Each structure stands twice: as structure tokens, then as C-alpha cells.
Amino acid sequence: MTAGAVAAPRIIPIVRGNKATSKNHIDTNTLVCIQSDTGQARLLYTLDGSEPAREAPSGSGSGGRRYLSPFLLPGGRVCVRAVAATSDGRESATVTKVFVVREAEPLQQVINRSLRRSRARRITQPPLRSSFPGGDSGPRLAPRRCDLAPASR
């Protein structure tokens, strides 16, 4: 990169574990972040494949959104385009990344299923039994006392 150039942004899905099959196949619960190595650059992006404009025309629905924090994508094929712009008018190259976004199971359903599984495991596992008569855990040993006095000769 030459001096004074604006670094092109990176469009990065935040995938936990081995959730995605590839870098562009994600679900609707996957956050997407945009980063640039140029400090103080404004990041603008679109989700419809149109060119993100440095200054959105007034009254226009397109032109770009200003990136402020990671966001979720809607289901389907989504074309994310991003550009970094500085206050003095310099812009980076536009970066495009196409995601195939599948509808994810709602989070509440995932939580409910997990709770049902944990309850089922508790019910089907036999309780721990003691091998001593009367259910006692066995003889209790008095704690040893350790004196740190020097050994006598």
C-alpha cells in the first residue's frame, strides 16, 4: 500500500466454533463485522450489492449505511459491499462479499431443546450409590497435622 492510501475494509463473519461450512455460508444468528487498518476512516456498507457512496444522497434509500457495530444479515443471498473513507475525501477500493445466509433456529428454541436434553440426562442417569452399608460414604479419617519444625538429629 502506498503512503496516504486508505486500506480496503475487510468483511468478516464472526463464527463461533465450527458453525459455518465455509466463510460465506452462515446463518441469521451470525454477526458480521467490517474492519479497516486505516485509523479514523469511516466505514460505509450496503446489503443490496449497490456501491456504498461516501455521502448518501438526501432522500435516497441507497448510498450506504455507516458501520458502527457488528450486524446480522437477513436470510437468503446477501451481497455486502463496503468502502473506507477518510474525512479529507480519500476512499479505499470497494470490497464485495456474497453470503449465503440460512434461516437459523430461533434462540429460544435452542435454549429449550438444551434444557430438555439436560433434564433427560439427569432422569436417565442412576444416582450415585455408596458401596458401604447404610449408604455411608465410609470411614472418615482424621486430618493429619503437619508441623514444619526442623527434624532433630
Residues 9 and 85: their CA atoms lie apart, in Å, by: 10
In this predicted model, what pLDDT tens digit does every residue of 56-66 receive, in sequence order? 444 444 568 99
In this predicted model, what pLDDT tens digit does every residue of 89-134 receive, in sequence order? 899 999 999 999 999 877 777 777 778 877 776 666 665 555 555 5
Domain membership of residue 137 (yes or no) is no
Tally helices (H) and strands (E) across the chain: 1, 8
Assign 121 to helix, strand or coil: helix
Do residues 64 and 52 make contact, with C-beta atoms less than 8 angstroms apart?
A: yes
Domain membership of residue 18 (yes or no) is yes
CB environment 44-78: b (16+ within 10 A), e (fewer): bbbbeeeebbeebeeeeeebbeebeeeeebeeeeb
Residues 116 and 108: their CA atoms lie apart, in Å, by: 12
Domain count, the chain: 1
Q: State which H helix or E strand residue 113 sits in.
A: helix 107-124
Domain membership of residue 63 (yes or no) is yes
Grid coordinates given for 15: 463464527
Q: What is the CATH number of the domain that holds 80?
A: 2.60.40
Domain membership of residue 4 (yes or no) is no
Mean pLDDT of the chain: 79
Domain membership of residue 37 (yes or no) is yes
pTM for this entry = 0.63
Domain membership of residue 22 (yes or no) is yes
Grid coordinates given for 24: 460465506
Residue with cell 475525501: 89
What residue numbers bound the domain in which 62 lies? Answer: 10-102
Residues 83 and 23: their CA atoms lie apart, in Å, by: 20
In this predicted model, what pLDDT tens digit does every residue of 3-50 receive, in sequence order? 678 999 999 999 876 654 678 899 998 999 999 999 889 999 999 999
Residues 110 and 104: their CA atoms lie apart, in Å, by: 10
Domain membership of residue 86 (yes or no) is yes
Domain membership of residue 149 (yes or no) is no
